[in-house]
Chains A and B, each alone.
Chain A
Amino acid sequence: MASISTRIGTFSIENPVLLASGILDETSGSILRSLREGAGAAVTKSIGVTERKGYSTPVISEIKTGLLNAVGLSNPGIENFVEEYKNFPEKRKVVVSIFGGNVEEFSILARRVEQAGFDKVELNLSCPHVKGVGSEVGQDPELVEEIIAEIKGHTSLQVWAKLSPNVTDLVALAKAAQKADAYVLINTLRAIGVEIYSRKFSLSNVVGGYSGPGIKPVALRAVYDVYKETQKDIVGVGGITTWEDAVEFFLLGARAIEVGTAFIYEDYPIYSKINKGLSDYLDSEGFSRLDDIVGVMVKDGAFKGH
């Protein structure tokens, strides 16, 4: 049977299917459940310096091609987070997502995460619906570079940079983030939902993020563009619901993938389903390990796509 183990930065993972930030990851109990049900690793809900209650409901709206959400970065704040995870049994498989409005906040969060016994952070440089943080920070290449330099300079954390697709030049942004150990591509797309009978917006915050099957082609394009230019480790995320979707991301250069919105359709069995499908695909196509298909459509002078 083909090996589906993978590696992101220095992190060796049993399987490449991870839980994306923002879905079923507010409580340590659910993070643990994902790990027990087959996730290779799990990314937490984004944690900030202080507690945030997020937006009023409605915070989600299902549409035919996926999901709109504006939860509003609700989180208990770093100190309450650390307290909850004090005795967590699998910290090595947890990637702590952090968000901040400036270098100092990211620095405080990263140091505290490391002190608490974690060794990986995902930088939320891409939340599309909260003022002053997320993509507002993440579309400023100089600030992104500074944040990553600060964390890499003062901690031993593995740093994953989750970038926004809501920018003119994603490759330029990726290059600014090149000191990160990996890129996570992509976050949700800025979007709006309309309810035609009330003639009101679907989300209380009006603007939210669009995720799910409809954004997969956008995510694939992002992975392709960034892998082609940087060949760095990439975690692909955006609309992955089946093992076939996952294979598409690997072929374009992702070494691992994250699932989130797909929980609506597949729920917890998604981990075992994708892992099984992936392993069977590698076997039937004559590959002995996942690594053999990573980026094959981009390497070997295939840069023009044909």
Chain B
Amino acid sequence: MEHSRVIEITRQNKDVFTLRFDSSIKAKPGQFLMLWVPGGKEVPMSLSDTSNPAAITFRTFGETTRAISLLKAGDRFYYRGPYGNSYPVPSGKVAYIAGGTGLASLNAMIMKYAGDVFVGARTKEDLFLLGDGYNVATDDGSAGFKGTVVDLFIPNAWKYDYVYVCGPEQMVKALIDKLGKDIKARIYISLERLMKCGIGICDSCSINGIRVCRDGTIFNIDQVRNMSEFGVFKRNESGKIEFFVNGKR
């Protein structure tokens, strides 16, 4: 396990934080760290900036992420990685589609390759890392388009050569279903599942025998289409199958 020191923690909104840290890690956009602070759990974290110094951006949702958000400049934290594959290099016209905290992972890519960014959130208060000219969708219409980021993006889909996607499984599922198969763009999707080991051996994050942590986290759209379990069920910490509310059995 490596260790590093916090340079600064920036609050992005009510529960999203960016932690910039001192290290010489060589990571590519799309990769993640397994991050640990003593007393907490070890959690996977997407790098939101892979330049030097690098950064992670995360939402607090439990004790561990809250403990990380309370670190101060100079405090130590511990990590393994970077793990996972990275987003392929684009050519032509590029779009990014983010939901949930998906913009954290895509941000590292946006910093390197300009493109049109489509961001979805529940409300205005849930937005973070917004740049100039981002296309915003909120469920309640408190900012930008009222509706889902998928519905905001679909009419524009034909414009792009490369599309990068990161967000909740049901968002990605809706996108795949609505895009249809005759789309010309190359579409790459970073998937999210419960992870324990991060190195491809514990099987917690596997979808149809494909490991999100080691075979991904980034897959092309055809690979995701071929995952019959995707968008239908996930697994809890025991490995038990839990169907998504909207998942079609």
* A-to-B contact residues, CB < 8 Å: 23-27, 29-33, 45, 51-54, 56-62, 67, 71, 74-77, 80, 84, 195, 197-198, 200, 202, 204, 260-261, 263-264, 267
Give CA–CA (A22, B204) in the complex, Å: 11
Count of B residues near A, CB < 8 Å? 34
* A76-B238 in contact given A26-B206, A27-B206, A197-B76 (Cβ < 8 Å): yes
Task: For the complex, give the distance between the alpha carbons of A267 and B211 in Å.
Answer: 11
With known contacts A27-B203, A198-B78, A202-B1, A60–B237 Cβ distance under 8 A: no
User: Are the C-beta atoms of B78 and A26 separated by less than 8 Å?
Assistant: no
Is B236 part of the contact surface with A, judged by Cβ < 8 Å? yes
Distance between A187 CB and nearest chain B CB, rounded to angstroms? 16
Which of A52, A200, A263 sits near B201, CB closer than 8 Å?
Answer: A263
B238 touches A264 (CB 8 A): no
- Of A32, A60, A75, A77, which is within 8 A of B202 by CB? A60
Distance between Cα atoms of A195 and B76 in the complex (Å): 13
Q: Which residues of B contact A31 (CB under 8 A)?
A: 209
- Once A29-B207, A29-B209, A30-B209 are accepted as A-B contacts, the answer to whether A267 and B240 lie under 8 Å apart by CB is no
Say whether A84 contacts B241, CB under 8 Å: yes
Determine if A26 and B236 form an interchain contact, defined as CB atoms under 8 angstroms apart: no
B208 CB within 8 Å of chain A: yes
B146 proximal to A (CB < 8 A): no
Contacts of B208 in A (CB 8 A): 29
CB within 8 Å of A: which residues of B?
Answer: 1, 3, 34, 36, 38, 41-43, 76, 78, 80, 196-197, 199-204, 206-211, 214, 229, 235-241
Instruction: State the majority secondary structure of interface residues on A.
Output: loop
Contact between A23 and B201, CB atoms less than 8 A apart: yes
- Nearest first, the 10 closest Cβ-Cβ pairs linking A and B are A29-B209, A33-B209, A76-B240, A26-B203, A57-B42, A53-B237, A58-B42, A26-B239, A29-B208, A198-B38
Q: Is the CB of A59 within 8 A of B197?
A: yes
Contact of A57 with B200 in the complex, beta carbons under 8 Å:
no
- A202 to B3: give the CA distance in the assembly, Å: 13
Q: Which residues in A have their C-beta under 8 angstroms from that of B210?
A: 29, 33
Residues in A whose Cβ lies below 8 Å from that of B202: 23-24, 26, 59-60, 71
A267 touches B41 (CB 8 A): no
Chain A CB within 10 Å, residue with most, of B34, B200, B202: B202
* CB-based contact B240/A51 at 8 Å: yes
**A32 touching B240 in the complex, CB below 8 Å, given contacts A45-B203, A58-B36, A263-B200:** no
